[in-house]
Structure formats: C-alpha cells, structure tokens
Structure 1
C-alpha cells in the first residue's frame, strides 16, 4: 500500500496552523483542496483526524497522536528538501501588538531575536484591534487588557508599575508633593487601565477643583508629550523605560504611591504553540522580560540606596 505523502503534509499544515484556511494559504491551494486531502488521509487511516468546535478546527484524539508522531519528521523533511534545493528556509512570523508597546518596548529589542533566528522573517503589525485568529494571518498577539480570553492561550508579559513623569525641565525629580499635581496640566492616556482619578484616590488626594487635561489615545504620544515639557503623564514603567533611562522624563515626586498591574498579555490559540516559530518567539520574549525585570529592579535598588545616602548627609 502506497503512503499518501501529499495528504500527510496537508494534514500536518492543518494541525500546525489550527485552520484549514491558513493551511491553504501556506500551501498555495484552495481550502476545498485541503479538506479533500485530509478526508482522503482519514479514509486511508480508517479514523477521523480533525473535527470542528463551532468555527474552530480541532484535532481528534487520534489526530493529536498522529500529529505528535509525524510533526517533527515532516519538519525535518521540509528543511532537508529546502537545503538540497540550495536555499535557506524563510518562515514568516506575524506578531500583532499595540503601537505604543511596539514603539517603546519591542522595537529596541528585536535585533536580538532576528540575530538568533535568521530563518524567521518577522512582520510586526502595530494595531490596537484584537485579533480574529481564524480570519487573520496573525501568529501571536500581545494584547492590552485584563486577560482571561476564552479559547486563547494568554500569558501576562510582566507586572508593570505606574508613576507620574514629566520632563526634568518641567519639574525637577522629587521637587513636587502629591498635592501639587492637580495645579499642573495632566496628560491622560485615555485607554490606560490606570487613570489619574484612581491614582489620586490611592494617594489620598482630593483635588480642590477639576484639573486641566491633555488627552491622547496612544500611550507613546502621551509619553512624548511629557518628554516635550507639555505636562505630567501617568504611565507604566514598561512603556517609559527607554525615556527614563535616557533622562527624557523623570518622576517629579520623591515617594509616589505605587500601583502595579499586568496590562500586556501574549496570546494565541493553543494549537499555535506547536509551531516552532511561535515557540521561538515565546522563549525569546520571556528572556527579554526577565532581563528587563532584573534591570528595572536593580535600578530601583540603586536609586533607593542613593536617596538614603543623600538623606544621611
């Protein structure tokens, strides 16, 4: 009995992508052709390999076992074939993230990922719109929100700390009291999960009158406005880090109230975690997260020690 290699590779593409449509795009054929090949393989094996849960494609128990047995072998065959043909395999990885996270945190770090994975062609899609994974060619989304999206793998990126910041020329570091802030122009990121009203309540401050506001719907715009001396912004250290270390912004309070929150989540359908390119990105961003957290915590310890030494002089 001949081995249905074509049908096997088509099933492999469906199982890897979790979608008949995505598999068809990867293979350059129609979705109906993909379905026919999978059905032919199921007839050959005498068992169902895929099913549907709503609009999703899911593997049956037999499909899961079969994919586990053939997945690595098919990947090796494809890589070997491409090497013999005389060119290196290039795989496209599409990552969706908000424009602010893309600009302020991801872009300064991407060189390390590209150097470690020269066979992956990265596409960074900067948008706030949540991904419809079954309809869009997006592999990973770093989504702003509270987590807990049904049907999706979701891992919090990092616990962020929020603080007021402004240009040092606007107000020197540690020069203002919490009660002084409502007298200045306050910059708002309207989509932020931490707003000035909540921060004032935590700080125990009741502004005497309504404060003047400057509003932006993008965090990176609010940070740039603060760095430009327009007012005081309330932002996350994750987004602020480059500007803080470069001295473009600083906290005008000596001891600001501390608010911590996870607002960025790495998400994708669970089936996508089988893909080598997705696993590679997850491993990389976890290392970057850990390195950044260590850098942030180390800087906080040094700053605290310097303030304590200054207080004893």
Structure 2
C-alpha cells in the first residue's frame, strides 16, 4: 500500500497548530480537504489520531506518539525543500523566555550569537506562557520555575544571588542595617520565586512586623521602579547586572547576606538536541553563562 505522504504532512500541520482551520490556512487548502486527508491517514493506519475539543483538535494517545515520531523528520523535509526552492536562505530558531529575562539578560548578549551564526534567523519570544512543545513553534524555552519538568531536557541557567536594591539617592550603598529596611517601601515582584518573607527567612533575619508594599507582576518593572526611587526591590543579580554596573541601583545593606536560588531553566524536548540550531544556541548560552559567572565573581558590586 503506498505511503500517504500528503496525508502525513497534513496531519503534521494539524497536530502542530492544534486546529484544522489554522492548518488549512497554513497549507492553502480548505478545512474540509484537511479533514479528508486526516481521515484517509487514520484509515491507512487503522487507528484514530485526533479528536475534537470545541473548535480545536486534540491528539489521541496514538496521535501524540505518531506526531512525536514523525515531527522532526517532517520538519527536516520541509526545511530541505524550502532551501532548494529558495524560499528561505536561513534556519529559524525560536527561543521563548520571560519578558524580564529577555530584556535584562538575553538581549544585551545576543549580538554574539547572531554574529557567529548568520545562517540562523533568531526569533526571541518574550512571554510568561509555558510552552507546549508538541503544539507551539518553539525550539527552546528558558522557563521560570523550580525545574524538574518530566519528559524534557532541563538544565539550570545559573544560580542567582538575590539582594535588596534601590536608587543610591534613596539610600546610599551600605548605609542600612536589615532592621532599617522596613522604614522604606518594599517593592515586590509578585511572580518571583524569591519573595521578601522567604529572603528574610533564608538570610536568618526576622521579617518586619509591618511594611509598606508596592507590587509589580514583571521583574523589569520592579527594577525600574527601584531605580526611580519608589522603594527597595528584592531582585536577582542575573536580572540586575547591567543596572548594578551602571549604578542605576545599588544594595543599601551593610554586609548583605548571600541568598541564592536557581529560577531560570533551559528546556527543550530531548529529540531537539539533535538539531544543529538548538545545539548551537545551547553551546552559546553555556559560554555566556560561564563568562557572566566569572565576571560576577570578579566584581565588587
């Protein structure tokens, strides 16, 4: 029986987009033509591959396994075809990271990667939405969390050191004792894993009985608020680095305790490690991590 290559590529488009309508738009055909192709593939394989969930589709267990097996091969075939046809001269690599990490740490370093890999077209997707790799067109996600996501390659980006920071005009570097923090407004990054109560606990300090708070749901907003003199923020040196070096913010504590935590994790499907573009980015970001760690160890910020 002939291999239904057209039906396989149509199923791949449906599984990747999660929608028959979007797959039809991507392929330039009608939704009914997409449905017919998927049905013919199901008949050929003798099993159901997709089901309905409202306007979207969901993969059956067999569909998920089949998509996982054919996905990398179809991607390679499509990329090879596009190269031969001249539709694209570069490979696209999509990296997803939180807006704060993208802005504060990745973006200032990206020139090294793009200059070293002119054949790779990088797309940096700054969002807090977790990636569903089987559906989203994302190659690598630097995910904020605690790590340990089953079924993925996971490695910590770096161990971060958290410290209070503020504008030097609000409190000079080294001018405050821990007990004096509560005299100022304390800025909270509400999505951060390192909150003020945890920092006081890990630092072996008693938290203040009362405090004035200012809350933000983005780290870069909390940092900018601290730099603007609105209060004292608790942030990671990973996010703070350029602001510390420029003097926009500084730690107002005398002998600040060292409180560390890994909150950013490099993640991707294990099978993606075979792709040259993924390996290139991982090699680059590991070198950047080593260079930044060495710079941090030598600095006196």
Q: TM-score, normalised by structure 1?
A: 0.74
Query: 2 CA distance for matches of 1:214 and 1:234?
Result: 12
Instruction: State whether residues 20 and 34 of structure 1, in contact with CA within 8 Å, keep that contact through their aligned partners in structure 2.
Output: no
Instruction: String of CA shifts for 1:19-62, please: whole Å, max 9, x gaps.
Output: 6669x8998889779979999xx99xxxxxxxx993764479xx
SS of 1:252 mapped into structure 2: coil
Match of 2:287 in 1: 287
Q: 1:171 to 1:93 in 2, by over 3 A?
A: same
Q: 1:220 to 1:208 in 2, by over 3 A?
A: closer
Match of 1:54 in 2: 61
SS of 1:234 mapped into structure 2: strand
Query: 2 CA distance for matches of 1:36 and 1:295?
Result: 57
SS of 1:108 mapped into structure 2: helix
Instruction: State whether residues 56 and 134 of structure 1, in contact with CA within 8 Å, keep that contact through their aligned partners in structure 2.
Output: no
SS of 2:181 mapped into structure 1: helix
Match of 1:202 in 2: 202
Query: 2 CA distance for matches of 1:188 and 1:167?
Result: 16
Alignment map for 1:229-244 (pairs within 5 Å): 229-244=229-244
Instruction: State whether residues 197 and 207 of structure 2, in contact with CA within 8 Å, keep that contact through their aligned partners in structure 1.
Output: no
| Higher alpha-carbon deviation: 241-250 or 264-273 | 264-273
How far the C-alpha of 1:206 sits from its partner, in A, is 2.7
Match of 1:308 in 2: none
Q: 1:37 to 1:119 in 2, by over 3 A?
A: farther
Match of 2:192 in 1: 192
Q: 1:107 to 1:56 in 2, by over 3 A?
A: farther
Match of 1:225 in 2: 225
Task: Give yes or no for the alignment of 1:127 onto 2:127.
Answer: yes
Query: 2 CA distance for matches of 1:280 and 1:209?
Result: 50
Q: State the Cα RMSD in Å.
A: 4.0
How far the C-alpha of 1:245 sits from its partner, in A, is 0.7
How far the C-alpha of 1:140 sits from its partner, in A, is 1.3
Instruction: State whether residues 7 and 38 of structure 1, in contact with CA within 8 Å, keep that contact through their aligned partners in structure 2.
Output: no
Instruction: State whether residues 244 and 250 of structure 1, in contact with CA within 8 Å, keep that contact through their aligned partners in structure 2.
Output: yes
How far the C-alpha of 1:158 sits from its partner, in A, is 0.7
Match of 1:165 in 2: 165
Q: 1:163 to 1:34 in 2, by over 3 A?
A: farther
Alignment map for 1:54-133 (pairs within 5 Å): 54=61, 57-58=64-65, 81=84, 89-133=89-133
Task: Give yes or no for the alignment of 1:143 onto 2:143.
Answer: yes
Q: 1:129 to 1:164 in 2, by over 3 A?
A: same
Instruction: String of CA shifts for 1:66-97, please: whole Å, max 9, x gaps.
Output: x99xx99x799769836xx5x86222221111
Query: 2 CA distance for matches of 1:280 and 1:53?
Result: 33
Q: 1:55 to 1:36 in 2, by over 3 A?
A: closer
Query: 2 CA distance for matches of 1:77 and 1:129?
Result: 30
Q: TM-score, normalised by structure 2?
A: 0.76
Q: 1:248 to 1:146 in 2, by over 3 A?
A: same
Match of 1:257 in 2: 257
Match of 1:278 in 2: 278
Match of 1:211 in 2: 211
How far the C-alpha of 1:296 sits from its partner, in A, is 0.8
Q: 1:193 to 1:20 in 2, by over 3 A?
A: closer
Query: 1 CA distance for matches of 2:254 and 2:63?
Result: 52
Where structure 2 has 5 or more consecutive residues not aligned to the other structure, the ranges are 46-58
Instruction: State whether residues 187 and 234 of structure 1, in contact with CA within 8 Å, keep that contact through their aligned partners in structure 2.
Output: yes
